[in-house]
Chain A
Amino acid sequence: EPEVTQTPSHQVTQMGQEVILRCVPISNHLYFYWYRQILGQKVEFLVSFYNNEISEKSEIFDDQFSVERPDGSNFTLKIRSTKLEDSAMYFCASSGHGLGILNEQFFGPGTRLTVL
């Protein structure tokens, strides 16, 4: 069964550094998402992406965040200048078979980001 994959599984960085988290969505999916989950807390929506542009974003997704689909398979989340409070698990998800956003989202295994 196809799965969403994410790399790396764990990223450690110094405060102020840039990080890029990578995701490979399921190949025939059209909608892509990033979420974060601070340890022990709920899953928080960051951004959704469709047709090569951001379709929705939350208040968390400020100017230090950006997303890109650099080729036909990867979907990346960049954090320009990491802060301590960016430490969290970041989940990528994908969905859609051309029927709109109200479809099951398939989550990747997550990247645990630790900012020191």
Chain B
Amino acid sequence: GENVEQHPSTLSVQEGDSAVIKCTYSDSASNYFPWYKQELGKRPQLIIDIRSNVGEKKDQRIAVTLNKTAKHFSLHITETQPEDSAVYFCASEGQFYFGTGTSLTVIP
């Protein structure tokens, strides 16, 4: 099965700074890469996704980049705000395989 690795496991940034979370995957046949945000005690919610036919996708302050050759994809959050604090999970291959999560803390 797919193996998804995610880094870093924890990330602290000052409000207004950017945050970058990276994931690598093993299955070159994977074609869909979503990112989920999970606030404490709540369900995972999709924040952005990317398919293998594009290299980058942006939605306001959030962007995702994909490098299929290197088999990695990244989440970029710009102008971070305290409400961005949460655990972020990447996933691949029909979303069955989740990364280990990154706990993001935005310091006001």
Contacts and interface: CB of A to CB of B under 8 A. Distances in A.
Interface of A: 41-45, 48, 56, 58, 91, 101-102, 104-110
Nearest to A105: B95
A41 B101 CA distance: 8
Nearest to B51: A102
A43 B44 contact: yes
8 contacts: A43-B36, A43-B89, A43-B91, A45-B98, A58-B1, A91-B43, A102-B94, A110-B43
A107 B45 contact: yes
A101 B94 contact: yes
A33 B49 CA distance: 19
Contact of A58 (B96, B99, B100): B96
B98 A44 contact: yes
A107 B44 contact: yes
B15 to A, nearest CB: 25
Interface string B76-104: 00000000000001010011111111000
Contact of A105 (B42, B46, B97, B101): B46
Chain B interface size range:
20 to 34
Contacts of B36: 43
Contacts of A107: 43-45
B31 interface: yes
Contacts of A108: 43
A104 B34 contact: yes
Contacts of A44: 98
A29 to B, nearest CB: 14
A56 B96 CA distance: 9
Contacts of B89: 42-43
Contacts of A42: 89, 98-101
B94 to A, nearest CB: 5
A98 B98 CA distance: 23
Nearest to A6: B43
Given A42-B89, A43-B89, A102-B51, A48 B96 contact: yes
Nearest to A31: B94
